[in-house]
Amino acid sequence: MAAESLATSAGLDPALGTSAAKGLSRSVQQAMEKAAAAPAEISPPSGNVFTGAQYATAGVALRNRQYGSIQISGVVAPVKRAYLYWAYLFASTPPATQQARFCRQTNSTGTLACANRTGTLIGVGADTCWKSNGVAIYRADVSTVAKYNGVYQIVLPSAASATNSGADPWASFSLPAAEGAALVVVGTGARNVAIYDKALAGTTFAGSTSYTLKIPGGVKTKPVLWDNIGADGQTGLAGGRGFGVAKEKTYVNGVQIAGPGTDVAVNGVTGGDWDGGVGSPLPQLFDVTAHTLPTTAADVGTSGLAIDFVSVGQTYDCASPVASVIAY
């Protein structure tokens, strides 16, 4: 189906980004959940484990946008590694590499120093229930630029975002449709830091999923920090507002750390990992969430983080991991 046709039909559908509300039978939903929940052990790629380190993350939601700003705080120089991630829904096969413009704000007046950066396709996943052909996730090494705390800007090509209209995603949709972008900056500190992306990126799920992040050498120092970066989380249906799409709970090694039951709901927000919080209240559809894990979930010597996302809503959200970062 052409992108123009998709835009027309999707604009009439209040259940974009979800599965149950799109008329899928319960047996189909269960099959999707079972496939997504197949146990997987994920190790950080070679070169993505850093000693004497600490890190900072931040992100921006980009649906119906072609550019946005990411502000990094708390990183300690010198920087060991900085990765820029971006994700979008596609109609045609995504290329192996893609360029995005990446800028650093150089002074208080907003002057930008910009250059094109090449991202490598690290994951292709199933559609997140927007009638696309799937989600593409890219990573670019921006270590030579993101060397400080401050404001950074990403400008996506039209091949990753068809529009910069800023329209409500549930009222206006065309492909390619950007999800968002995130920056992970590893600085200097006293911890071990691991970044998980290639085997994780694009593992789209509906409702629930499970996997284990293997910790090289086990936890050395507590508390363990874990940041989850993901695409297409949302809190409602039409307009993205409301409460009850999925209400995902997050468990780490059997201990609930996010979602209903852990926070007092304020304005329908549960503090979950898939609420589209980076872009709240609109456009939503991208998350960068940070956790300090209790000792009951990860103590010294723990060899991995068993992650479980479990939906307790009547409607099943469709979402896709992008990356995870832990300090241990």
* DSSP type of residue 107: S
With a cut of 70, say whether residue 219 has pLDDT above it: yes
For the chain, what are the domain ranges? 3-327
Task: Give the pLDDT score at 165.
Answer: 97
Residue 127 or residue 26, greater confidence: 127
Measured in degrees and rounded to the nearest 5, phi and psi for residue 240 equal 75, -5
With a cut of 90, say whether residue 24 has pLDDT above it: no
Task: Give the pLDDT score at 268.
Answer: 42
Task: Give the pLDDT score at 17.
Answer: 87
Distance, C-alpha 291 to centroid of its chain: 14
Task: Give the pLDDT score at 327.
Answer: 98
Average pLDDT over residues 149-172: 96
Task: Give the pLDDT score at 5.
Answer: 32
**Backbone angle region of 7, left / alpha / beta, with phi > 0 → left and psi within -120 to 50 → alpha:** alpha
Q: Which amino acid is at 138?
A: Y
Average pLDDT over residues 113-136: 96
**Backbone angle region of 184, left / alpha / beta, with phi > 0 → left and psi within -120 to 50 → alpha:** beta
Task: Measure the CA–CA gap between 321 and 298, rounded to whole angstroms.
Answer: 21
Query: What's the mean per-residue pLDDT of the chain?
Result: 88
Task: Give the pLDDT score at 241.
Answer: 75
Measured in degrees and rounded to the nearest 5, phi and psi for residue 20 equal -60, -35
Dump pLDDT digits (tens) for 235-273: 877 777 776 676 789 999 999 999 887 654 443 445 789
With a cut of 60, say whether residue 29 has pLDDT above it: no
Task: Give the pLDDT score at 10.
Answer: 43
Would you place residue 35 in the very low, low, confident or very high pLDDT band (cuts 50, 70, 90)? Answer: low
Contacts of 109 (CB under 8 A, 6+ apart): none
Task: Measure the CA–CA gap between 257 and 254, rounded to whole angstroms.
Answer: 9
Beta strands 304-310 and 209-214, pairing class? antiparallel
Task: Give the pLDDT score at 21.
Answer: 60
Average pLDDT over residues 99-120: 95
With a cut of 90, say whether residue 177 has pLDDT above it: yes
* Least-confidence region, from 30-34, 185-189, 219-223: 30-34
With a cut of 70, say whether residue 95 has pLDDT above it: yes
Task: Give the pLDDT score at 20.
Answer: 66
Would you place residue 193 in the very low, low, confident or very high pLDDT band (cuts 50, 70, 90)? Answer: very high
Average pLDDT over residues 169-196: 97
Is 89:175 a contact under the CB 8 Å cutoff?
Answer: yes
Task: Give the pLDDT score at 267.
Answer: 38
* DSSP type of residue 302: -
